[in-house]
Amino acid sequence: MADVWVKFEPDNARVGVPRGTLVLVAARRAGVPIESLCGGRGVCGKCLCRIVEGEIAEEGEQRAVLGAQYEAGLRLACQTRLLSDATVYVPQEARVSTPQILEQAAFSLGERAPQPAVRKVYVTLPRPSLSDPRGDLERLLDALREGGVAEPRCPHVRALRELPRLLRQADFAVTALLRENELLAVEPGETTSELYGIALDLGTTTVVGYLVDLRTGERLACASTLNDQVQFGDDVVSRISFAAQGAEQRRELQRAALSSANRVIEQACAQAKVVRERVSLATFVGNTCMSHLFWGIDPFALAQAPYTAAVQQGLEAPAGEVGLGIAPGALVRWLPNIAGWVGADTVGVILATGMHRSQDVWLAIDIGTNGEVVLGNRERLLACSCAAGPAFEGSQIRQGMRGAEGAVDHVDILDGSVTYTTIGGAPARGICGSGLVDAVASLRRAGLVDESGRLANEQTLADDVSPDLRARLVEIDGQPAFVIVSAEESALAEPVALTQRDVRQLQLAKGAIAAGVRILLDEAGLEPGDVRRVLLAGAFGWYIRQSSAAEIGLFPRELEERAEAVGNAAGAGAYLALVSEELFAEAQEIARRVTYIELAGRPEFDSAFAEAMLFSPGEREAG
Amino acid sequence: MADVWVKFEPDNARVGVPRGTLVLVAARRAGVPIESLCGGRGVCGKCLCRIVEGEIAEEGEQRAVLGAQYEAGLRLACQTRLLSDATVYVPQEARVSTPQILEQAAFSLGERAPQPAVRKVYVTLPRPSLSDPRGDLERLLDALREGGVAEPRCPHVRALRELPRLLRQADFAVTALLRENELLAVEPGETTSELYGIALDLGTTTVVGYLVDLRTGERLACASTLNDQVQFGDDVVSRISFAAQGAEQRRELQRAALSSANRVIEQACAQAKVVRERVSLATFVGNTCMSHLFWGIDPFALAQAPYTAAVQQGLEAPAGEVGLGIAPGALVRWLPNIAGWVGADTVGVILATGMHRSQDVWLAIDIGTNGEVVLGNRERLLACSCAAGPAFEGSQIRQGMRGAEGAVDHVDILDGSVTYTTIGGAPARGICGSGLVDAVASLRRAGLVDESGRLANEQTLADDVSPDLRARLVEIDGQPAFVIVSAEESALAEPVALTQRDVRQLQLAKGAIAAGVRILLDEAGLEPGDVRRVLLAGAFGWYIRQSSAAEIGLFPRELEERAEAVGNAAGAGAYLALVSEELFAEAQEIARRVTYIELAGRPEFDSAFAEAMLFSPGEREAG
């Protein structure tokens, strides 16, 4: 029973919720996508809202977390409960936006013709009569046989439930949706010209979908949304813990994954003006945990050594059974996982980049909420997972944020002064992963961060450092910090700055990745110079400068010139496997071929990690 | 929310229901099996109850329907609403009982060894380690492969959901349930000695289940219950009408079928002390409408010319998906249908009798709520459906009842006087199908019913008729009647008698069957004398005397000596197909081979029917 009504602005979206509901929960119900990095724990400070009208109850340490923003009337949606009818304003910076990057990737079939797993065949059936008493299904299968389908069969009861009425209403002229010789669904009339599919990348944080015309392979629309599972924790481990509590919790996570995917499907279909019921195939990628949660499989063993997946093979089921909002008879499938912490998304990256067919050795680094590294070529592929943590996505960074409008995404220190850019050119309101890497790389070059990662202070500062830079070295919350954007220029009531702790977080994150790269190279018996291409996948890989990534040592510095961004390669892999059965089979082959290297099992990992956390001895460039 | 509590006696079963609920509905919820032939329309007078305590509201014409029983305090459960907490007594005669017959049939594999569709394989898996990171499923499939299963695979997500925890709790020693190379389910520990199956006959009125040890083929238990669908009508056509109203109505009928089947499973498992979750295979027979309703398939076309089935092939799905209360991964399958009105039950009859392998021509007649006739041998099989109506089950007969305690089941007129027996030797309280046939056959022989079916009266009575018989010719409700049991001897406050209308009902019913037999013989170009065996299947076939059936002309009189009862052959067919894959395949072959003859499409049917309604010119025997 709805006790209070809340209106969200400027969306003008209304929803009824029980009295005492959190603003964050109400916003989700109303379809207002509020950002929440910490999973509602009241610490990330992202889920900003302003109570325009209505009675609320505040919880947690909002004043401490929000500082000046609190005084300016902003509140945390995850720590504010609605006690009466209310109007809530959600500012732009609190919203999840569709990163441009998600549109970018190698979405190309090249020379191949589309060859999807499903097809449509239009048939007209002779009407039943007293002298031709065949069952409706048998009549349809006979017509399909005459129409050239070899040994058609129907193993799915679902396709039959409405068949008698559908056939008669359609005057016995229908279109069959088939997977090889298997009847999946029947549609009234001639619908062969409408054969759509959707490729979905179910990320820990973001869900992206690409709507595709399966007859041509053309991408018709792209949509994305926040993974509703973030309300149960922003990282994979907290979701596993939640899921481990029981079957009901697992179902909640499954429902959240589905509702997010369904929202993406709805948006993409609306954009392209495609009826959802005409989407006949869905292909998913995502990490191993996401695949488990999507299918309702207990993921608890993923979080315990030796981190075993319940299943590696790709799973599939009809959409109606799964609860995916496309044609109920549509085929829903996932690409296979490689291991407990290297999932179908990595298979997608390999498939889309084509490194499994390359003669040269390539290195692929996909950094999302977690980081995966793949090394190899058509002879051999090695993969590992790196617990980089979400620092590259702006989490655990004091003023970190995702790559949305107002995020500082590039920083330069030249001739003793600082320049920066923000996404969308808007006043700075935080720093995203690429800005973080740039900032630290620049500070490194400027000699303001030493090899161990320590920020310079009055005592350690070289004499030739410019007054501007000196003035930027301040103290924030009792620790050294470097101001990138002054309070005057920023959108906040305070400067945008990098603290010593932020640098340490970056070191942990980049150290994990770099150690993984190191161990894969050792395992393969290769030197960095043997790598011909470094492929940076994902949003982070798209926005960072390769020079900065090399500078901080994310990958060996000598490979700087060989590095390139490949965009959402995981999503592109899902697209390719959606459009071509041959490529789907290739994805399965990839999953079988990749050798998974468990870093936790390596005695050399700890020292490699300790070493990789340091910055390489730099040639100081400018002061 | 329960508004009133009602206690049923002598069961001492309590249930809470909304105020205003019908006693019949409350009784079903409480698990008290009240008989209701008319589907709650208040006309059959079977659903007797006595309100011991509590306030009620009476509806309908109870006083008229119940007569003296009303004065004696009995009420119709389907026309009585509960307005307060109440205590309700349900007399024995109002209860559904398990007819003995259902235990009887050719439940024999003969020379065959059991060869069910599912099997179990016990395996112990190597524990996962950092150096052996295979997924749980892949580990299991590898172990099965080593255990001799060729190319094991798992297409069912369901089997995986709990796998990680199950494997670890079972210390990696598990039993796999397989169908050929397909993994259906995983059970902890070694359970290969517990492999059970259940054969179910889902009748329009009664659901019977036979629990079987699949390793030996041994029948462990038999249970039966009323099909809960009777609340939506006692005949197939009223259920089709109800289902045609929409998807929700169809789901109600589906739920009713499932709850009845689940009750049978529970009872059978309790009898044999078998855990339901160890039942790994279920095989159903039933008429075409029952199969449609079980699977949730729209049956509306069955009731409209040309009476087409939505599907003829046998369907199957995992129990967990269907909602059948056995192992969730268990395979649930139906035998195929032959046509819209000749279903899997007839396939079962053919399979169990073996007529499809006979060199001689046999005639099988299965009379349940509907009647099916099959004629043929291993060369050719013809089948038709006869709209006999439920007269043979006691419905539409003034004092008709099913074959339960107190039913007059045999009647003889010898030397001018009447003898009869009742089931269980109890005081007569009605007449069941076999008693009805016996009574009419005897009256025919005694010259008290003429060829056209007219009961004798003072004017038409022969002089040599005994005074006892004369005295039994009375008038009831304004029509001629013949008293079988006097009011003094009966359990009722009135005599048990046969009315002119009852004889007419019998003529309609037997005429439909006999016309079907006639048309099949004509179609096959055979004379009655060519038939070597007449197989009477079902409860009715078990209880009637072949001589009486021949006398009234249910089948050609010259075949009297060749007739035999074969019991619940449909159920026996389900048993055979459950225990042997070879026989299941034979059942599928039977469904393909049988030629369905639609009587409604025959111009000769009307005259055959009119002729078959008459009684053959009899040789008068005794007066």
Render pLDDT for A444-464 as a digit per residue (tens, 0 to 9): 999 999 999 999 987 888 888
Binding-face residues of B in 339-378 toward A, CB within 8 A: 339-340
CA distance B449 to A111: 87
**Cα separation values, B499 from B95, B454, B455, B463, B556, Å:** 25, 10, 8, 22, 26
DSSP-H helix ranges across A446-580: 467-472, 500-524, 538-543, 546-552, 569-579
**Cα separation values, B210 from A351, A617, B261, B414, Å:** 53, 80, 11, 41
CA distance A402 to B236: 63
In this structure, what token pair is assigned to residue B137? Answer: 């499923």
The answer to whether the Cβ–Cβ distance between B137 and A300 falls below 8 Å is no
Using CB atoms, which residue from A135, A308, A600 is nearest to B135?
Answer: A308
The answer to whether the Cβ–Cβ distance between B310 and A136 falls below 8 Å is yes
Question: What angle (nearest 5°) sits at the alpha carbon of residue A214, between those of residues A211 and A218?
Answer: 60
Using CB atoms, which residue from A135, A160, A298 is nearest to B162?
Answer: A298
CA distance B56 to B54: 7
Query: Do B550 and B563 touch, CB atoms closer than 8 A?
Result: yes
Taking one residue from A and the other from B, the number of pairs with CB-CB distance under 8 angstroms is: 151
Query: Do B601 and B229 touch, CB atoms closer than 8 A?
Result: no
What pLDDT is recorded for position A621? 43
**pTM, entire model:** 0.82
ipTM computed for the complex: 0.82
DSSP secondary structure string for all residues of A249-317: HHHHHHHHHHHHHHHHHHHHHHHHT--GGGEEEEEEEE-HHHHHHHHT---GGGGSTT---S--S--EE
How far is residue B456 CA from its own chain's centroid? 36
Q: Which residue has the tokens 């740039």?
A: A438
> How would you classify residue A161: left for phi > 0, otherwise alpha for psi between -120 and 50, otherwise beta?
alpha
The answer to whether the Cβ–Cβ distance between A164 and B133 falls below 8 Å is no
Query: Do B622 and B464 touch, CB atoms closer than 8 A?
Result: no
pLDDT per residue over A300-349, tens digit each? 999 999 999 999 999 999 999 999 999 999 999 999 999 999 999 999 99
- The residue length of chain B stands at 623
B31 lies within 8 A of chain A by CB: no
pLDDT per residue over A406-434, tens digit each? 889 899 998 889 999 888 788 999 998 88
CA distance B71 to B391: 28
The answer to whether the Cβ–Cβ distance between B312 and A137 falls below 8 Å is yes
Residue A580's pLDDT band (cuts 50, 70, 90):
very high
Query: Do A506 and A433 touch, CB atoms closer than 8 A?
Result: no
B312 lies within 8 A of chain A by CB: yes
**Cα separation values, A487 from A48, B281, B331, Å:** 19, 72, 68
Residue A412's beta-bridge partner residues? A419
Residue B477's Cβ-count burial label (10 Å; 0-12, 13-18, 19+) is: exposed
Mutate one of B125, B127, B130, B599 to test the A interface: name it (highest A CB count within 10 A).
B130
What pLDDT is recorded for position A38? 67
Using CB atoms, which residue from B130, B298, B306 is nearest to A600?
Answer: B130
Q: Which amino acid is at A176?
A: A
Mean pLDDT of A195-224: 94
The answer to whether the Cβ–Cβ distance between A312 and B138 falls below 8 Å is yes
Binding-face residues of B in 586-615 toward A, CB within 8 A: 596, 598, 600-601
Q: Which residue has the tokens 């068949």?
A: A163
User: Strand, helix or coil at A460?
Assistant: coil
Largest CA distance in chain B: 103
Q: Which residue has the tokens 């349940």?
A: B368
In this structure, what token pair is assigned to residue A146? Answer: 């005459």
What pLDDT is recorded for position A205? 85
The answer to whether the Cβ–Cβ distance between A308 and B600 falls below 8 Å is no
The answer to whether the Cβ–Cβ distance between A160 and B300 falls below 8 Å is no
CA distance A76 to A65: 9
Sheet holding B496-499, edge to edge: B473-476, B479-485, B496-499
Question: What angle (nearest 5°) sits at the alpha carbon of residue B13, between those of residues B10 and B16?
Answer: 135
The answer to whether the Cβ–Cβ distance between B134 and A596 falls below 8 Å is no
What pLDDT is recorded for position B338? 97
Largest CA distance in chain A: 103
CA distance B496 to B428: 7
Q: Please tell me the distance in Å from B330's CA to the nearest CA on chain A.
A: 16
Which of A276-285, A531-540, A556-565: highest mean pLDDT? A276-285
A134 lies within 8 A of chain B by CB: yes
DSSP secondary structure string for all residues of B73-94: TEEEGGGEEE-SSEEEE--GGG
The β-bridge relationship of strands B361-367 and B531-537 is parallel
pLDDT per residue over A473-487, tens digit each? 999 999 999 999 999
A306 lies within 8 A of chain B by CB: yes
Close Cβ partners of B561 (under 8 Å, ≥ 6 residues apart): none
Mutate one of A311, A322, A324, A602 to test the B interface: name it (highest B CB count within 10 A).
A311
Q: Which amino acid is at B265?
A: I
First to last CA, chain A: 64
DSSP secondary structure string for all residues of A355-410: GGG-SSEEEEEEESSSEEEEEE-SS-EEEEEE--GGGGGTTTSTTB--S-TTEEEE
Task: Indicate the DSSP class of residue B111.
Answer: T
B150 lies within 8 A of chain A by CB: no
Mutate one of A134, A154, A160 to test the B interface: name it (highest B CB count within 10 A).
A160
What pLDDT is recorded for position A620? 42
CA distance A386 to A568: 19
Assign 3-state DSSP to chain B and report helix, strand, coil percentages, each to 5: 35, 25, 35
In terms of CA atoms, which chain A residue is nearest residue B301?
A: A164
Q: Which amino acid is at B1?
A: M
What pLDDT is recorded for position B105? 52
What pLDDT is recorded for position A107? 66
Closest CA to A423 of A413, A437, A412, A411: A411
CA distance A152 to B317: 19
| pLDDT averages per 10-residue partition of chain B, 623 residues | 82 83 83 68 84 92 88 92 94 65 59 93 96 94 97 94 96 98 97 97 92 94 89 88 94 96 92 94 97 97 94 96 96 97 96 94 88 96 88 85 85 90 88 92 93 90 89 93 94 94 94 95 96 90 86 92 88 95 96 93 88 75 40
Using CB atoms, which residue from B133, B138, B157 is nearest to A598?
Answer: B133
